[in-house]
Amino acid sequence: LLYERHGDPAAVVQLKDLEVPKLGDCNVHVKMLAAPINPADINMIQGTYPLLSPLPAVGGNEGVGEVLEVGRRVTALKPGDWVIPADAGLGTWRTQGVFPEEMLLKVPSDIPVLCAATLSVNPCTAFRVLADFESLLPGDSVIQNAANSGVGQAVIQIARASGIKTINVVRDRPDLPKLVERLMALGADHVVTEEMLRKPEMKDIFKSIPRPRLALNCVGGKSTTEMLRHLQPKGTMVTYGGMAKQPVMVPVSAFIFRDIRLRGFWMTQWRKDHARDQESVAVMMDALCQLIHKGQLTAPACTEVPLQDYRAALEASMKPFVSSKQILLL
């Protein structure tokens, strides 16, 4: 799936037949199996993301493929192995590709294909924001907005596996009870709407669990300000997205009297910073794959779409209140 200019994804993305390039000595020929449509993919096609691929570009930053053939200098991979992108910008919305070996990470081929296809962005983001900003212990709590997003669903499950309680904020919507039920089934401790954050009933939640030391924000605007009220003094709020396209507003008192810390996180930057530290990457991927093996981390709610129906999938992924990730089957 190729785009030659930036703009509305449903208009600029085209399905094109291309020759598969020749296999070089350090290259790997991969048959792609499945690739999701993420918000960052859409923003890259629109031309609004901080990282843009040179045009013409193949869409998609995430997915899983099976190795068909390797160049004669490739040592870490062999035919039959499953691989995911080691970094953003790979262009995963294609049936086959030839990539340099260092652009791929091997993953176990006995995990569900949808888990592997959605492993390199959201679960990694969830893992890092839970691990890198506060030392959380079993019994501690975390509050997050957009709890039904891909990252939100992964945060709930990873926190649950570590004994950390989650307070999950979602927007009010027509099918709210169904969404609450789904998040509770994943292991959420509390699910509240943005409106409830202001209500006195929030105090009841903190009778049974401590106030959070960590808030995870991917919305911005009012949702964030309301979430901050519930943080412990010296707590940290990490922003990793801005779905409301509004700034983060913080009362001065939160800084002066509660010494709240505000931090930011971008998975792409983390990968750049750790490009030479393969140990950290391996530890993270190993921990996530073990959770998948134990059934403690599942793929987000997904809709599987054949490649030729890509337009419908692109349009569906841009609708509001979508709790199901569109996955292209390649």
Among residues 3, 49, 240, 310, the one annotated as catalytic is: 49
In a 13 Å sphere around the CA of 295, the CA atoms on its Cβ side amount to 1
Q: Check residue 6 and report its DSSP letter.
A: -
Residue 310 appears among annotated catalytic residues: no
Contacts of 169 (CB under 8 A, 6+ apart): 143, 144, 145, 146, 147, 192, 193, 194, 197, 223, 227
Neighbouring CB atoms inside 10 A of 72's CB total 10
Q: How far apart are CA 205 and CA 230, in angstroms?
A: 11
Nearest to 324 by CA among 303, 297, 295: 303
**Annotated active-site positions, please?**
49
